[in-house]
A = this chain, B = another copy of it.
Amino acid sequence: MRKLKYREAIGEATVQCMKADPRIVLAGQNVDDHKGGHGTTTDAFRVFGPSRVLDIPNSENAVAGIAVGAASMGMRPLVVHARADFMFLAMDGLINLAAKWRYMYGDKGGVPVVMRGIVGRGWGQGATHSQNLHSVFGHFPGLYVATPASPADAKGLLVSALRNETPVVLLENRGLYEIEGEVPENPEPVPFGKGRIVRTGSDVTIVAASLMVQEAERAAGLLAEQAISAEVVDVRSIRPLDEAIICTSVAKTGRLVVADTSWARYGLAAEVAAVVAENVHGALLGPVRRVTLPDSPAPVSWPLEEAFHPNARTIAAACLDVLGGDPTLPMREMTDITAGFVGPY
């Protein structure tokens, strides 16, 4: 199969879906410019022009409500935020309107708004330009929330989102944008609520999301060198969450490490641990480990930023730990997965 970059896959899905469905409109700050949402909106603008690919004012709050209003009249707005952090300002429209619409108006129809948020990563994005809001959105019934970790999923989940009657939040890590992978040419939907076994293994389960899936894969490689067989599960969608794939894997391996791009408290890693504690409690042979952000805002300074983000090595160390091994085992240096995102900004 031909390969595409993650950002190219998003751009392709957008164009294909917009061609197939005239109700889709793309809106976002600066989506029509030479950078085109890091290349994710450039083609759409070229093909569909300014009426369907709209550069909008800096008005995240109203724009969320505007998107819902347009959806209530049959449009399918796809809204892009250059940083997921700006979506705090869109939260009222997303949570209080979009997520609840179908229910609170008596199940007469939904408002299929799709909102993409790009999670900043690297080059000192800092405390307010790098937050991962998936568990926050995932707390609220009425939304679908997904965090594609591969080019194929970036395309397939966006295709699902744009064909769906449920509002969707897609959180894309900027650190994945330059990653290449096989992507089907046709717009094949990846369903919400279905995880993916990225790599099978028998000794320990690593459940991960977004960029951490890539790091988990590399961690599994490191562990394999030490004859440890790690199974890597990509949840893909945060809501609905594929409980079965998690439980089946843990039932097999008996060990669980969860790797997330966000903080531990009330995050994805907590939820995965809870799902296991509820459903396959007896299968667990040891404690669960959460590999998450240290409990502080994101720093800017390069060495701090490096230390801040979990990676293959920290994931592998956590696996060794739950297996009762020596977690300080020296492991070789690895290049930064997000190396594609370098300065100058």
Contacts and interface: CB of A to CB of B under 8 A. Distances in A.
Contacts of A277: 256, 273-274, 276-277, 284, 287-288
A236 interface: no
A288 B295 CA distance: 26
A89 B241 CA distance: 27
Contact of A274 (B61, B85, B92, B274): B274
A46 interface: no
Interface in A278-325: 278-279, 281-282, 284, 286-290, 295-297, 299
A41 interface: no
Interface in A16-62: 61
A14 interface: no
A95 interface: yes
A287 to B, nearest CB: 4
Contacts of A284: 277, 281
Given A266-B266, A270-B273, A297 B89 contact: no
Given A135-B139, A262-B139, A270-B274, A95 B88 contact: yes
A193 interface: no
Contacts of A266: 135-136, 138-139, 266-268, 270-271
A140 interface: yes
B287 A281 contact: yes
Contact of A99 (B140, B271, B297): B297
Main secondary structure of the interface of A (DSSP, over half): mixed
A265 B145 CA distance: 12
A277 B287 CA distance: 6
A104 B88 contact: no
A228 interface: no
20 contacts: A89-B91, A96-B128, A138-B265, A139-B267, A141-B296, A142-B297, A265-B271, A269-B274, A270-B271, A270-B273, A271-B274, A274-B288, A274-B290, A276-B277, A277-B277, A277-B287, A278-B287, A278-B288, A279-B287, A281-B288
Interface of A: 61, 85, 88-89, 91-92, 95-96, 99-100, 103-104, 126-128, 131, 135-136, 138-142, 239, 241, 256, 262-271, 273-274, 276-279, 281-282, 284, 286-290, 295-297, 299
- Cβ-closest 6 pairs across A and B: A273-B274, A270-B274, A277-B288, A135-B266, A281-B287, A100-B297
